[in-house]
């Protein structure tokens, strides 16, 4: 018979406290796991995510809004171009079928298109996430706030009297 642990069952996994402090290394590994768990977004989810990123902190930095909108427009233009090319490819595929040329199965081609689209969406999400993390992280905001609070103390240290 197996020994029971503190919680009662030997096969019970330990419960992680979501509110406990953790090191940066643990946080990085958790974020990588989350990115691996669900990297695939649909077309509409990607558009919504880019719109959400562009609307965050818009009062302080309008450049971020335009950067995310530029990413979104670039993605949409790329998808329009791919769709136009695929329509032409479908016509050529049909002509090849009529003449009896050896061609791969249409389902294989369709799956390749789906895979290419998903890779493009993943790259756009990765690019947007990196831009967002670089420009909108909490350390940056915290440093700005702490500088505002420390400004009067710096003036006293150099010999200026701000009370006059």
pLDDT of residue 129: 87
**Closest alpha carbon to 49 in 115, 122, 114:** 122
For the stretch 57-74, pLDDT in tens is 777 778 888 999 999 999
- The C-alpha atoms of residue 86 and residue 92 are separated, in whole angstroms, by 10
**Could you tell me which residues come within 8 angstroms of residue 58 by beta carbon, excluding any fewer than 6 positions away?**
64, 65
Instruction: Answer whether residue 68 is part of any domain.
Output: yes
Instruction: Answer whether residue 28 is part of any domain.
Output: no
For the stretch 42-60, pLDDT in tens is 999 999 988 888 887 777 7
Tokens linked to 79: 């998808």
Instruction: Answer whether residue 72 is part of any domain.
Output: yes
Whether the model clears a pTM of 0.75, i.e. scores above it, the answer is no
- The C-alpha atoms of residue 55 and residue 50 are separated, in whole angstroms, by 9
Instruction: Answer whether residue 79 is part of any domain.
Output: yes
Which of the two residues, 29 and 140, has the higher pLDDT score? 140
- The C-alpha atoms of residue 26 and residue 81 are separated, in whole angstroms, by 41
pLDDT above 50 (res 22): no
Report DSSP letters for 81-107, one per residue.
Answer: HHHHHHHHHHHHHHHHHHHT-----HH
Q: How many domains does the chain have?
A: 1
Instruction: Answer whether residue 78 is part of any domain.
Output: yes
Instruction: Answer whether residue 45 is part of any domain.
Output: yes
Instruction: Answer whether residue 14 is part of any domain.
Output: no
Q: Which domain holds residue 90?
A: 40-137
Instruction: Answer whether residue 112 is part of any domain.
Output: yes
**Could you tell me which residues come within 8 angstroms of residue 86 by beta carbon, excluding any fewer than 6 positions away?**
113
């Amino acid at each position: 018979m197996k020994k029971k642990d503190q919680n009662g069952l030997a096969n019970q996994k330990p419960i992680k406290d979501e509110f406990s402090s953790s090191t940066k290394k643990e946080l990085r590994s958790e974020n990588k796991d989350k990115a691996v768990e669900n990297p695939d977004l649909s077309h509409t989810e990607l558009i919504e995510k880019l719109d959400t990123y562009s609307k965050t902190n818009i009062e302080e930095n309008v450049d971020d809004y335009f950067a995310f909108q530029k990413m979104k427009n670039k993605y949409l233009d790329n998808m329009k171009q791919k769709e136009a090319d695929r329509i032409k490819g479908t016509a050529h595929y049909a002509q090849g079928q009529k003449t009896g040329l050896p061609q791969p199965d249409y389902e294989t081609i369709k799956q390749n298109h789906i895979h290419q689209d998903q890779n493009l969406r993943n790259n756009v999400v990765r690019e947007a996430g990196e831009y967002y993390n670089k420009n909108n992280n909490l350390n940056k905001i915290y440093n700005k706030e702490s500088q505002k609070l420390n400004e009067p103390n710096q003036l006293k240290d150099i010999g200026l009297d701000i009370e006059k």
